[in-house]
Every structure is written in structure tokens, then in C-alpha cells.
Amino acid sequence: MKPHTLSILVENRAGVLSRVTGLFSRRGFNIESLAVGTCEEPGMSRITIVCIGDDAQIEQVMKQLNKLIDIIKVSDLTDNERVERELAMIKVNADSGTSRSEIMQIAQIFRAQIIDMGTKTLVLQITGNTEKIDALETLLRQYGVKELVRTGKIGMLRGSKTVKSGK
Amino acid sequence: MKTGAKLLIEGLQREGVETIFGYPGGVVLPIYDELYDSPLRHILVRHEQAAAHAADGYARASGRVGVCLATSGPGACNLVTGIATAYMDSIPIVAITGQVPTSLLGNDAFQESDITGITMPVTKHNYLVKKAYDIPRILQEAFYIAGTGRPGPVLIDIPKDVSTGTVETDPPRVETVSLRGYQPTYKGHQRQIDRAVELLTLAERPLLYAGGGVILSNASEELVRFAEQMMIPITTTLMGLGAVPGDHPLNLGMLGMHGTEYANYAVTECDLLIAVGVRFDDRVTGKIDTFAPHAKIIHIDIDPAEIGKNKKVDVPIVGDVRNILGELVQKLQKMGHYQTWHEKIKGWKKKHPLRYKDDGKLRPQYIIQQLSALLEEDDIIVSEVGQNQMWTAQYYCFRKPRTWITSGGLGTMGYGLPASMGVHYARPDKTVFDIAGDGSIQMNIQELGTIAQYKIPVKIAILNNQYLGMVRQWQELFYDRRYSFTELPAVDFVKIAQAYGIDGIRVESRDEVQSALKTAINTPGPFMLDFRIEREENVYPIVPPGAANNEMIGGNNS
């Protein structure tokens, strides 16, 4: 059982996301994260789903996804050379002078950006892999994380290989 | 200028549709108005569920796409059980529903329901049409998707303003539908076929396990040729009955929970299982780890998702069953014969035949056997779900594909009577029998109204034990005979039939069975037989749920 990153090319049509997520819940697969957006092909979108399962489960979910008429291509990026990123925004308590400068120092080390500064809070933006974001969150906990939002992971194969239509 | 409704009716005709089953309502009025003087035959059912089952029965008996039509909201929701039934058994139907006007969509309007959302898990695909112009294309796609690859139901939801909306000129029609997200595989992978040939050459105790996929791909002939050439015994699933003649010497009958003992022993001891158009359903495999424990498995199926879903296989071949069996026949030399294996099976057959206590009482198995002897090989048997279905599967000798119409996967009580109406329109020259239980028949008994109105010559045989028999049997065997809510008070079914203007007879003794069946067969038009059978007769053998297939009980009860 390990997390798999599935890159799914779909027709950009009403209801396609609910077809995909409905399939996961109906067949008892859990979605760890999900990111959707339009892509380089007109009329198509790309969904990146991270889900946890053993090889047989992942194979089954991919086969079931492939059966959906609006799905053009499903690829499992997991065992390939790939780049993956996730973006998070973290609103953290920063009312005293000391914690404020500590947080800014931490942000610098993590190459996070401060994108909002209030009288009592800071909002940090961080991009990276899941572990990096988790690590930053852990460090910020001591100051009090008021809100955290993550985009869900997106991924791409390294080099010239692509996840294209033609399944 | 044409309306969406007109485009729809024209499109249906272009797809070769002759008969549709439906029920009118508010938002489908424009479509019904168009039907009024169209050459399409419309059968008015009494409940939308029946329209879906009838379309399904039509599809199973004919091999073509069945069509049903209902209004929005409750009409569409009533189709759902019928659509799910078709989905589980991979039956091609196109269900058309009306929808509230697009301006009201999502407003909880009168008789609005999100039927595309509701049917997403039970359709192969579905559409919500947004403009009249799209209707011809979507209809063409729907028929294509329903009838190709692994078949299944497709739903088209048409808002009222779309069916009244107009187009100036006919939208262009494509010669063949091509969808980038849907490209079924028909031809088997050469290397896998070669590996299958290799395993077949090495096997000593091979067994064919054939299912509904053989019927769907019209591969019965190829299956029998393959089996005969290699002398491989065949067991079929419930859905595969009729793929091989019931009296064929290589046929071991049905396997699984209520299969024959010898089929279940054969599957437990075989060293090569050739699974053809099947999906290793739990009712077939019993405890999955002990299913075919000594066998290498070759799995041939058009749906790649079925391969390895429930059981790991050694050689997967994705493609059309008919193509692949044909290719295997070409590649294999006549050989084998497997003398020892056949001897062993012959021994099991002799020692453990299907049997029941034939003691002069009115027992359901006897009725089915008599019916089997009386009907022609291409007459058609439809069943409800439960004991009636299992007794028929066990004791009727199906000799041809598409002569056995039953709800296998979903196990829908109330399926049989409406499905048999569809079967009649698919094969109007054949005798059609609906084998029912007193529980099942009452789930869609209102269809006697449809049958009477159109004088549909369906013969109904109710195996009436005043119980929900299969559930009662489980309560007897596994719940200490605590018959919790399974007893049904006696109903005079003949009187009900008569109220609709349909003739019938009540049968209370074994001696009357033959003449009653003959009367039903020889009376023109519909006929009802109410058989008052032994109330606590059980279906045996039975593999208890979760047990291994060779741990059947009740095999030696008589």
C-alpha cells in the first residue's frame, strides 16, 4: 500500500468530475488529494488524483476509470521519473514580535513566501512536495495554525514523455 | 424546421427501432405528440419499471438495443431498477427520459430529479441534452455505446424545451461513431493467445467455464466447436445457460451456489480453467480462495476490468469472445480427449445427479421438467428471481442461446413478467413462458394490464408456495427456522388474471400438470397457471454463503 499519483486526461464536459469521484467512492477507493484544471489540449482537462492502495487495487481503479466514456487516458506516474508539486497556504498566529520574526525565518529556510501580513496573523505560501509542506506545517503548529489549504498534488513525467490522448 | 422531439423519433427509426416501451407524462408530451402518428410501435406499460425490464427482455431475446421512455422525476426514478438490472447483466438498452425545462434545472421544479446523477453508477454512460441540435448525434452515440464493446444501458435525459426546441436544418450525421474515450478491443492479443494454446496443450484436466459474455457475443457455436474439438467439458453460469445445449454430453450444467455437484467438483479439481465471458461472481465462486485451487486460469473477456478483478489469472485475453474462440479453434490441433478426466466426471455425474423427491406431491422441479419436455428448443423461458429461477436453471434443458432470460447480477424480483412482454416483441412467433414465484409476480403484477391490453401471448406459471421461498429457505438452513416476514397469505391469482380478462387455471396436484401446461400453450393469447406447490420445498444443492464450492449441502437429500 503506497500513494499513487494518477494523471487522468478527460473530456472537459459537465459531470465528468463527479463520474470520476463517484467511481472512487462507489468502488471503495480513497482519494488522498485531487486537482483539476484545463490543459494544453482544447476541450480536455487533466485531473491528478493521489490515492492509496496495493497494486491490484490501483490496477482495478485504473481499468474502471478507463471504462468511463469521457475519460481519454489514465496514467500512473508513480513508478516513473516525474516531478510533483503541491501548493499550500498557511495562516499562522503571529501576534508577538518574537514569533513574527521566527516565522519569517522559518519561511525563508523553506523558501515559503509571506503573501499576507495582518496585525495578528501571517499567511505563508509554500510550493513543494507533500513532505516539505507537512514539515513546514509541523514547525508552525507551535505558533498556532489558524487555517491551512492545499491544492492537492499535480505531477508530470520528466523528460519528453507526456500523458497524451490515444488510449 | 424540425423540433427536438421530431429529431428524436426520426433518429430512433434510423437506428432500426420498431418497438419502444414507455409511459407518458408532463415533460415528454412533445415526444408523445410526435409518437402519435409515427410508425414506431409504443407499448404503454403500467409502471415505468416495467418499461425498462421490457426493453431489457427485448434486447436479451433479440440481441438488439431495447428502448424505453419515461417522464421526468418519478417516471425516471421508476426506471432505475430496470436500468440497474440491465447494467449488471451487460444488456444494451437506451432509456430516454424527459426533464424539466433547462431554465428550471436545479430549481427543485415539479417532477424534477437529477436522473443523470442518479443513474451514473448504473449506466455505461448517460447524457443530459442541452439543445435540440445535439439530439441526433447523442442518440447515435447512445446506441453505439449501448450495443458495442461490453454492452450496457445508456440514458438520455431531454429537457422539455429541448424537445420543443427547433433546428433550421438537420444536423449532419456521421457514418460511424468515433469517440476518443471509447475504443473497445475486439481482437485478442496474439502473444496471449499463443500462451493459452501452450497451456491447453499441457492440461490434463481442463474445464470451460462459460457465461453471459458467450451469449452476448453470439459465440455459442464457436464455444461448442472449441469444446468438441478439444473434448473439454463445459460448465456455465446462470447467465450462460443456453450457450451450450443442456443435453450436450460435454455439458456439466450450472456451477456455483445452486450448481450441479459434478460441475462444482470439476471446477475444484480441474488443472486448467478456461473462463469465457464470465466475471467470477461470488455466487459462482463461493469462497474465492478455494475456487479452482489447482488450476491455471485463462480468462477471455471483452472488458479488461473484469480480468483479475476477483481472481488472479495466468493468461488474460481481452477481446471479443467469439473472435478469440474462433482463433483458438484454428490454432489447436484436435487432441487430448483426457480419458481419465472424463471417467472421473462421469463417476460424479452418476453418483451425484440433480435430484428431488418425486413422491406424487406437486413439486416445482417436476413442473419445470414437464415444461422442458413440452416446449420447442427455441421457445423462450423468462424467470423471476428466487427459488423459481433456480429450479428453472437446474431442471429446464436450454438448448439454444437467448432462450433463457433472467436477472442474474442484480437479482431483480418482478423482472420476469415485464421482461417477457419485451421478449414477445423480439420473437413474436415463439412461445414465451414467465416462470414466477408468488412473491416475485406481485412485484409487477400490474403488467397484466399491459398484457391484456395488447393481448401479449405470455404464459405465466406461478410456483406458488405462499412464501418468499428463497429467503425462507435461508431462514430454515441458517437462521434456525425463524421465518421472519417471509410468509405470504394465499392469493387467488386466477381471479386476478380474470379481472384483467386473462384466462387461468389453478393446479393443485401432480396429475394435472401436463394437461394444464398444454392448455396454456395451446390457448391463444396470455394464460395464467397458479401451481400450488409443496410449500417448504428447497433448492438443492446449495453452497452455503462463504463456503467452498465442494462443501455443498442437500445434495443427497433424497
Q: Is residue B549 part of a domain?
A: no
Cell of B544: 452455503
- Nearest chain A alpha carbon to B126: A69
Instruction: Please count the structural domains in chain B.
Output: 3
Which residues from B are below 8 Å from A67, CB to CB? Answer: 303, 305
Q: Is residue B254 part of a domain?
A: yes
| Residues in Cβ contact with A96 at an 8 Å cutoff, skipping those fewer than 6 apart | none
C-alpha distance from A63 to closest chain B C-alpha (Å):
5
Q: Is residue B343 part of a domain?
A: yes
Domain boundary among B136, B167, B198: B167
Domain boundary among B292, B316, B351: B351
Distances (CA, A) of B438 to A79, A119, B174, B413, B465: 57, 75, 49, 11, 7
Q: Do A66 and B304 touch (CB under 8 A)?
A: yes
Q: Could you tell me if B295 and B426 lie in one domain?
A: no
Does A66 contact chain B (CB < 8 Å)?
A: yes
d(C-alpha B313, C-alpha B276), whole Å: 12
Q: Is residue B398 part of a domain?
A: yes
Q: List, in order of start, the domains of chain A with CATH numbers.
A: 2-80 (3.30.70.260), 83-154 (3.30.70.1150)
Alpha helices by DSSP H, listed for B231-335, are 261-269, 282-285, 321-331
Q: Could you tell me if B475 and B508 lie in one domain?
A: yes
B483 within 8 A of B469, measured Cβ to Cβ: no
| Residues in Cβ contact with B499 at an 8 Å cutoff, skipping those fewer than 6 apart | none
Which residues from A are below 8 Å from B124, CB to CB? Answer: 69
Q: What residues make up the domain containing B21?
A: 2-167
Q: Do A59 and B308 touch (CB under 8 A)?
A: yes
| Residues in Cβ contact with B78 at an 8 Å cutoff, skipping those fewer than 6 apart | B47, B48, B49, B70
For residue B33, the domain's CATH number is 3.40.50.970
Cis before residue B541, ω within 30 degrees of 0? yes
> Helix axis angle, B190-202 relative to B321-331, nearest 10°?
60
- Nearest chain A alpha carbon to B146: A69
Q: Could you tell me if B287 and B225 lie in one domain?
A: yes
d(C-alpha A125, C-alpha B27), whole Å: 51
DSSP-derived 3-state class of residue B222: helix
Q: Is residue B443 part of a domain?
A: yes
Q: Could you tell me if B500 and B442 lie in one domain?
A: yes
Low-confidence ranges of chain A (pLDDT < 70): 165-167
> Tens place of pLDDT for every residue, chain B, 558 residues?
999 999 999 999 999 999 999 999 999 999 999 999 999 999 999 999 999 999 999 999 999 999 999 999 999 999 999 999 999 999 999 999 999 999 999 999 999 999 999 999 999 999 999 999 999 999 999 999 999 999 999 999 999 999 999 999 999 988 899 999 999 999 999 999 999 999 999 999 999 999 999 999 999 999 999 999 999 999 999 999 999 999 999 999 999 999 999 999 999 999 999 999 999 999 999 999 999 999 999 999 999 999 999 999 999 999 999 999 999 999 987 666 799 999 999 999 999 999 999 899 999 999 999 999 999 999 999 999 999 999 999 999 999 999 999 999 999 999 999 999 999 999 999 999 999 999 999 999 999 999 999 999 999 999 999 999 999 999 999 999 999 999 999 999 999 999 999 999 999 999 999 999 999 999 999 999 999 999 999 999 999 998 999 999 886 543
pLDDT for the residue numbered B335: 67
pLDDT for the residue numbered B554: 81
Q: Do A22 and B183 touch (CB under 8 A)?
A: no
Q: Could you tell me if B382 and B517 lie in one domain?
A: yes
Q: Is residue B184 part of a domain?
A: no
Does B106 contact chain A (CB < 8 Å)?
A: no
- Nearest chain B alpha carbon to A25: B121
pLDDT for the residue numbered A162: 86
Q: Could you tell me if B382 and B330 lie in one domain?
A: no
A136 within 8 A of A124, measured Cβ to Cβ: yes
Does B178 contact chain A (CB < 8 Å)?
A: no
d(C-alpha A21, C-alpha A34), whole Å: 9
Q: Which of B120, B145, B183 sits opposite A22 (nearest CB)?
A: B120
Give the best residue of B180, B306, B309, B310 to mutate against chain A (max A CB count within 10 A).
B180
